[in-house]
Amino acid sequence: MTPWTDRAGNLSPLKAVAFAGTLVPALLLAYYAVKGFPQGAGASTLLGPRPFTAAIHETGDWAIRFLLMSLAVTPLRRIGQWPKLILIRRMLGIAALAYALGHLVLYFFDQNWDVVRAVSEIALRIYLTIGFVALLGLVALGATSTDAAIKKLGRNWNRLHKIVYGIGILAALHFFMQSKADVYEPTLMAGFFMLLMFYRLAHWRGLSLMSPLVLIAIAVAAALSTVVVEAAWYGLATGVPPSRVLWANLQFSYTIRPGWWVLATGLGVAALGFVRSMGKAEAPRGRRAARAAA
């Protein structure tokens, strides 16, 4: 079975588009790395004066993005009533693993393949250790993502793959720690992760993800949690008073803070759920009217 076909061997437009999408960041990164290089002494690529560092960051960023996309499949299946989304969940998870491995390989390349030095750095720098543990978790999930592994592990497969939530936490923490002062995107990724976790928590508690009120409450809770995480990080890591960060979330002249993007995304999902629930309610009424007319 190829990445663009379903189990019956037929072309799946959804899988084909998703597979092409997973390749785009890597192709763009290769293009940026090659464009204009070399152009003479001291020339740099479109990635800037430190292209390897930029490439390391880009692959790491896309690893966590694809991880979040894979986690978004299940709630979107339920809320949007799109059962075929399950076809791309494994692909997105493998893409996260591939970019995470690329992240590590580029790091070794940047260290001139000095394995001893690179390993010692990973062992001694806590944020590198956290990232490496997250990578090992992704490797474990990737290695057991085949149909044969699912069949062999049985119920233990579900137990093992629940470590993805811990991997998400470690990946977000690694992102925060390596970003140092500017944590805009790590905060945004953490906010989306919390939004996805709130969906799962609501489902586990038996709340209906088809209820607009539940989805709106989740959006607000995730947005507020994002603001709190941002303020707490700046307070602990840089000493910036949390009140200043909280106040910055009410200022729109410079930029829109991550919490607002999380809120907008959550409300967009709530609108999707409302539309889909209305469509589901209209279908039985339409069938009843047709039977009555008959």
Helices and strands (H and E) in the chain: how many: 12, 0
Query: Which pTM was predicted?
Result: 0.88
Rounded Cα distance, 248 and 116, in Å = 44
pLDDT string in tens for the chain (294-residue length): 688 888 878 888 999 999 999 999 999 888 887 774 444 444 445 666 677 888 899 999 999 999 999 999 999 999 998 989 999 999 999 999 999 999 999 999 888 899 899 999 999 999 999 999 999 999 999 999 988 999 999 889 989 999 999 999 999 999 999 887 788 999 999 999 999 999 999 999 999 888 999 999 999 999 999 999 999 988 887 788 878 888 888 887 778 999 999 999 999 999 999 988 886 655 455 455 445 554
How would you label 164-174 residue by residue, b for 16+ Cβ within 10 Å and e otherwise?
A: beebbebbbbb
